[in-house]
Each structure stands twice: as C-alpha cells, then as structure tokens.
Amino acid sequence: MSQTVEILHDLISFATVSRDPNRALIDYVADRLDDAGISATVIPDESNKKANLFASIGPTGSGPVSSGPVSSGPVSSGPVSSGQHGPDNGGVMLSGHTDVVPIDGQDWTRPAFTCTEEDGRLYGRGTTDMKGFCAAAIASFVAASKLPLRSPLHLALSYDEEIGCIGVRSIIEMMAKAPFRPAMCIVGEPTEMGLGTGHKGKTAIRAQCHGRAGHSALAPLAVNALHLACDLAGEIRATQDELRENGARDDDYNIPYTTLHVGRIDGGVQLNIVPHEAVIDFEIRNLAEDNPQDIIQTIERRIAPIIARAQQIAPEAAINFTITNTYPGLDTAPDEDVVTLLKSLTGANTTIKMAFGTEGGLFSRDLGIPTVICGPGSMDQGHKPDEFVTRQQLALCDDMLAKLNQRLVAGL
C-alpha cells in the first residue's frame, strides 16, 4: 500500500462533515508531521473543535525552517523563522480542505467513513472531494522534508470549505502578517489532474420578506410574505434569463455565464393564516467580468414596484437582503509562472475552468498568490453516494508532486 493510500484510509475514517469537528484529523496530521521532524502551526476556531494546519519546509532565506512544538492556538506572526524570501523564492503551497459534505438521505452501498477498495476504486466520503489530494500532499510533504530543498514547500489544510471557504480565512490572516508568503499555490480540488486556472465567485444572499398577517378568509386585506418571496424568486429568474442571453460569457466554463439560483424558501404557520414573514435564500455564481453587487442592485430595482404595491396595504411591507457569505472567483493569467510550472509537471497543454469554487480565489485576491487548481478525481463523483477516487488518479497526483519536489530541490 502506497503512503498516499495508507494516509487516505486514515483520513476517511475521520467523519469531518462540515457541521462536525475536524480537530481529530488535524491533530493526526500534526502528529504525523511531528514524527517526521516537521513543525506545524495549528490554528483552532473559537470552539477549539475545528482547526486549520499550516506547515513549511525548506529554506527561509536565513537557513532551514526550525523544528518545534505544534502550536495550540492562533499566531500573530509568520509560521517560519525570520528571514525574507525574494518574490521568486517563496516556494509553492499545497492547499486542501479537510471537511466533507453530509451523507444524510443518500443511499450508500458501502460504509461512508471507511475507505474500501474495489476494482481500483477507493470508496468513501471525501475520497474525491478532497481527501485524496490531501493524502497525496501529506505524503509528498513528508518526503520533501528529507530532500535538500532550495525553494520552500508549504502545506495548508483548512476546515469549513464546503460551507463557503470559511475556515481558510484564519490561514490567510496569519499569512498576511508573515515575513514572506508562497510565490504560488496549487489547490487540489478534483480536476482529473487537469490544469484549472479559473472558477466563478459566489455570493449567498438571504432575503427577509415582511408582510402583514391576517385570516385567510380576508387574505386581500393582508400581505402574504410567501407571495413576496415567490415574486422575488420570479425576478431572480428573470435576471438569470437576461444574464444568459445578454451577459458576459466565458466559454472556458461548461456554463459560460453568471448563474443565479434559489435554494430555499421558508415561511407560513398553517393554511388559514396569511404569513407575515418568509425567508428566501439565493446565490450568485459570477464570472470575473460580472460584479455580484451590481446584480443585487438590479434585483432590488426589479422588486421595488412589488414592495411599493404591498406597502399600499401594509406600510411595513419590505424585502431586506443580507449577504451571508461570499468568496471571489479565480482568474489566473495563462502566462503566470504557476501555470507554466504545472504544465511541465503534468504534461498539460490546455487549461480548464471550474463551475465550483475554491479557496484559490481568496489566496489570489487577498494575498496576491497566483493559484491553479489541480487534483485527482472528478467532481462527477463528489457529493454523491459511493463517492470514489481511482488508484490511477492518485498515482498521477503522486507523480506530479514528486516532480514538484525535484523542482524545489533544483530551485524555482
């Protein structure tokens, strides 16, 4: 059994659904790195039940990274010893998330949190999205620690990516205060080892719809908040139609335009009561050319007449928007060094863009780190029952990371 497959078996055994702790998995990784003489920084959340991990190996500009105990709390300074990298010697960061989506309501025919193998496929929740890459990255990181690296290698593992890239933000805050930062980043989301240079941004919005309660026999004298929510949903669909027909396009995406989606409507008590409150959750997944704030303002203009009509009956009627989460898209230029590097490591001649989001947009926007997406497996298997990654895909990832280590020995 390869080191990557062995580690993957261990990672799958931690049921790190986003709503649950991931700390046991992070402590397992920290202990494994410590056994290899690698010091890691563990960054817990306020509950101390979830945490990120960051580690660096290789030169810092004044010598190798020193070993030391694992941190039990957030840090305010850089994760490595003093010394500055030049912009061309910040090395490479491998980034992955440790949380997975729930299995509730899914018809699994194999144990979801035990890694099982059949016909070259490794089954289990998170095998593709994205513990397969995390396992390969950990194995490669330990192997790299035994090499005479001339350029550093960094490992970043985060929590709560699946609910909006939430956990990684404390890593970004830490890195923003560090004396240096990686020159480039590889996020290992499943691309079947294709080279991804872009993904859409995402903005999640909650709309609170306020009407006026009443008896259903006198419904015209009240304002039905569920009707307001449905009218809002209609305007969201109309905005989507306009973006599809006349908006910006990027044909590198399988859906080449910005999309809007209503995911949830909630309201009402019982049938004979006109509901005075309703909630609608919707999202925008935008191309780089489209500003989600502009789209929100377009929807607000569309619903203004609807609210005005409702206020003729109930002056308190309103629809109020709150952004509950947002992360930026990624649009890495094709001539960036990280693209050239990954082409040489994978043999890719073309690049792709993904509809799903990653922490890569945050690394690029907030830290200025050029980032690509490249990892084993296909999102066609992600979030589904009997999720799997193939041994062949893991082997291709192992090969890419081994070649990366040799490039770091030679020096970027």
Question: Of 289, 309, 327, which marks where a domain is finished?
Answer: 327
DSSP-assigned states of every residue in 337-386 = HHHHHHHHHH---S-EEESS--THHHHHHHH---EEE--SS-TTTTTSTT
Task: Return the structure tokens found at 207.
Answer: 């709309």
Question: Of 272, 302, 327, which marks where a domain is finished?
Answer: 327
Does 166 share its domain with 301?
Answer: no
Reply yes or no on whether the pLDDT at 77 is more than 50: no
Does 179 share its domain with 192?
Answer: yes
* Mean pLDDT along residues 14-37: 97
> CA separation (Å) from 165 to 160, 201, 248, 304?
6, 11, 25, 32
- What is the CATH number for 246? 3.30.70.360
Task: Return the structure tokens found at 258.
Answer: 């910005």
Chain centroid, CA 271 distance in Å: 40
Does 20 share its domain with 134?
Answer: yes
Does 110 share its domain with 221?
Answer: no
Closest by CA position to 100, among listed 161, 164, 30, 149: 161
Does 14 share its domain with 138?
Answer: yes
Reply yes or no on whether the pLDDT at 355 is more than 90: no
Q: What tens digit of pLDDT does each residue of 153-198 get?
A: 999 999 999 999 999 999 999 999 988 899 999 999 999 999 999 9
- More confident call, 79 vs 135: 135
Reply yes or no on whether the pLDDT at 65 is more than 70: no
Does 278 share its domain with 402?
Answer: no
Please give the residue range of the domain that contains residue 226. Answer: 201-327
- What is the CATH number for 392? 3.40.630.10
Does 229 share its domain with 94?
Answer: no
* 3-state secondary structure labels for all residues of 284-344: EEECCCCCHHHHHHHHHHHHHHHHHHHHCCCCCCEEEEEEEEEECCEECCCCCHHHHHHHH
Report how many domains make up the chain. 2
Q: What is the pLDDT of residue 179?
A: 85
Q: What tens digit of pLDDT does each residue of 193-250 get?
A: 999 999 999 999 999 999 999 999 999 999 999 999 999 999 999 999 999 999 999 9
Does 134 share its domain with 245?
Answer: no
Q: Give, to the nearest 10 degrees, the angle between helix 3-12 and helix 23-35.
A: 150
Q: What is the pLDDT of residue 76?
A: 31
Reply yes or no on whether the pLDDT at 69 is more than 70: no
Q: What is the pLDDT of residue 349?
A: 93
Does 382 share its domain with 345?
Answer: yes
Q: What whole-number percentage of the chain has pLDDT above 70?
A: 93
Does 12 share its domain with 87?
Answer: yes
As a whole number of angstroms, the distance between CA 275 and CA 89 comes to 61
Q: Where are the beta strands (DSSP E) in 124-234?
A: 153-158, 184-187, 196-199, 201-210, 214-215
Q: What whole-number percentage of the chain has pLDDT above 90?
A: 90
Q: What is the pLDDT of residue 89?
A: 59
If you average pLDDT over every residue of the chain, what do you get? Answer: 92
Does 312 share its domain with 345?
Answer: no
Q: What tens digit of pLDDT does each residue of 86-124 get?
A: 344 599 999 999 999 999 999 999 999 999 999 999 999
* Mean pLDDT along residues 131-142: 98
Does 286 share its domain with 244?
Answer: yes
Q: Which helix (H) or strand (E) holds 54?
A: strand 51-57
Question: Of 270, 305, 327, which marks where a domain is finished?
Answer: 327
Q: Which amino acid is at 342?
A: L
When mean pLDDT is compared across 47-61, 102-116, 273-287, 383-397, the lowest value belongs to: 47-61
Q: What is the pLDDT of residue 1?
A: 72
- C-alpha R_g of the chain: 24
As a whole number of angstroms, the distance between CA 196 and CA 372 comes to 6
Q: What is the pLDDT of residue 39?
A: 95
Q: What tens digit of pLDDT does each residue of 242-297 get?
A: 999 999 999 999 899 999 999 999 999 999 999 999 999 999 999 989 999 999 99
Look up the pTM and report it: 0.87
Task: Return the structure tokens found at 296.
Answer: 């929100």
